[in-house]
Chains A and B, each alone.
Chain A
Amino acid sequence: MARKKEKISIRILLLFCLFGSTVLGQKPSYINPGLLSASTTLSPAVMLNRSEVNYYVTGFLEGRIDKRISLRGELHYMLGNANDKFLKNNLRTTFGLQYGIPFGNFELHAGFAPGFSVMQSNVDPSNTEFVPSAQFNVGARFYVWKLFHFFTNISYIHSKMNNLDRVNGMSDELMFSVGLGLNFQVLKKYRQHE
């Protein structure tokens, strides 16, 4: 009886694998040059020099110029933090490069992007600073359809306020993002295969 159950289980597993591989095999590849991706999401950011968390609304626009390479611009707008901590306001933009390793429609990627921030601290709200920034990120995304993908991303962002009197203005953050993204293939020759 036990052997029969085992055989049935193995057959079901084989059928599932066969079905799965067939489905995966038939799935079109969405990761191609010309793929535009964009999204907006909410992102918490842990400050690395202070035990504080800031909350951002973040957005990105990314254009793929090669199977593995894309150019990506990001915009981060700080919504606030728990108890009026170090940062009062922050608006940041970055523009850089992403390098991806695709596995079918799933992709691991990493990137670098120089940028700048306009920052204001609760230490001295009268001081608004233009601050050069740099971002390093790693992430994963799964293109589930020609118009949608799921993504997750972790970014290290360096920035430092310099005009604060007798206060260390180091404002490095580790930002976490998860969400649903939109994507669209702008090149006809790849759109036909979708």
Chain B
Amino acid sequence: MKVLSFMVALCTGVYYHYSYAQELPIKTNQGGLFSIGLRSTTSIFEHKDFGINGFGYGGQLRLQFANRLNTEWFADYMRGNIDNLASRTDYHVGWSVMYYFTDKVAPPVKPYIIAGHCFDKTELVDNSDRSNRISKNSSAIQAGGGVHFNITDRMDITFVAQYMFHLGPDVHAHIENEQVMLHREKGTGIEGHLLLNLGINYKIADLWHGKKKK
């Protein structure tokens, strides 16, 4: 029944017994708080060789370990454009650790610093010839800062700014005589871009303290 209620909550935002809208009970500490969310991702830093100017859609799960320590597990799908001649698609899957500056559960504004690790796939495609494409798999690290705007005990709007360093073989596109040239560089390099996320998040349950003692 709980699973069914959870599915209804996901679909309609209204929990069967209305418990999701109630105040969030905290027992001993905030460890075990589990939440889900959605976000929009923007890469605002245009790197000429890397060809990033993207916008994406993603989601995240959060599992809090202690009062000031939270973890975020995320996936993003991003689309970008290179001078209207080629397109770029990025897939990010990763995790981050968040450190809060306060012990409070849901103050109106809750700032934090964040750092983590990510696996990514990048694909560049020539718009005039879709068979002309190149891709790479690599890993990345990201770090930055964010802030939760708590609108209830359970729900927040989160803004995060992170710089992401990609470690691995580089692929890039450049234009010669209005022709798209796609290149894969040998060896390992570091390229980076600034990511901005705006998302909404909902605390579903306390996984460690949620069970009632009989």
| Residue total for B at the interface (Cβ-Cβ under 8 A) | 36
CB-defined contacts of B20 to chain A, threshold 8 Å: 65
CA–CA, A62 and B13, complex, Å: 8
Contact among A63, A129, A168 with B14 in the assembled complex (CB-CB below 8 Å): A63
Is B181 an interface residue, CB under 8 A from the partner? no
CB-defined contacts of A97 to chain B, threshold 8 Å: 155, 157, 200
Complex contact A167–B39 (CB within 8 A): no
Pick from A11-19, A131-139, A142-150 the stretch touching chain B: A131-139
Is A162 an interface residue, CB under 8 A from the partner? yes
Complex contact B38–A96 (CB within 8 A): yes
Is A77 an interface residue, CB under 8 A from the partner? no
CB-defined contacts of A63 to chain B, threshold 8 Å: 12-14
CB-defined contacts of A131 to chain B, threshold 8 Å: 79
Is B148 an interface residue, CB under 8 A from the partner? no
Complex contact B198–A112 (CB within 8 A): yes
CB-defined contacts of A158 to chain B, threshold 8 Å: 55
CA–CA, A44 and B43, complex, Å: 30
Is A169 an interface residue, CB under 8 A from the partner? yes
Closest to B127 in A: A165
Complex contact B57–A166 (CB within 8 A): no
Pick from B65-73, B84-92, B114-122 the stretch touching chain A: B84-92
Is A115 an interface residue, CB under 8 A from the partner? yes
Q: 8 Å CB contacts to A: which residues of B34-78?
A: 38-41, 55-58, 77-78
Query: What's the least CB distance linking B136 to chain A, in Å?
Result: 18
Is A156 an interface residue, CB under 8 A from the partner? no
CA–CA, A141 and B208, complex, Å: 41
Complex contact B84–A169 (CB within 8 A): yes
Give A109-120 as 1s and 0s: 1 = Cβ < 8 Å from B's Cβ atoms: 000101110000
CB-defined contacts of A66 to chain B, threshold 8 Å: 21, 152, 155
Complex contact A69–B87 (CB within 8 A): no
CA–CA, A99 and B198, complex, Å: 16
Query: What's the least CB distance linking A101 to chain B, in Å?
Result: 12
Query: What's the least CB distance linking B13 to chain A, in Å?
Result: 3
Contact among A70, A160, A168 with B13 in the assembled complex (CB-CB below 8 Å): A70
Chain A to chain B contacts (Cβ below 8 Å), 12 pairs: A33-B18, A71-B12, A71-B13, A96-B38, A116-B57, A132-B55, A132-B57, A133-B57, A162-B80, A165-B127, A166-B178, A169-B81
Give 10 nearest A-B pairs by CB, closest first.
Answer: A71-B13, A63-B13, A132-B57, A162-B87, A165-B127, A63-B12, A63-B14, A134-B40, A114-B40, A162-B81
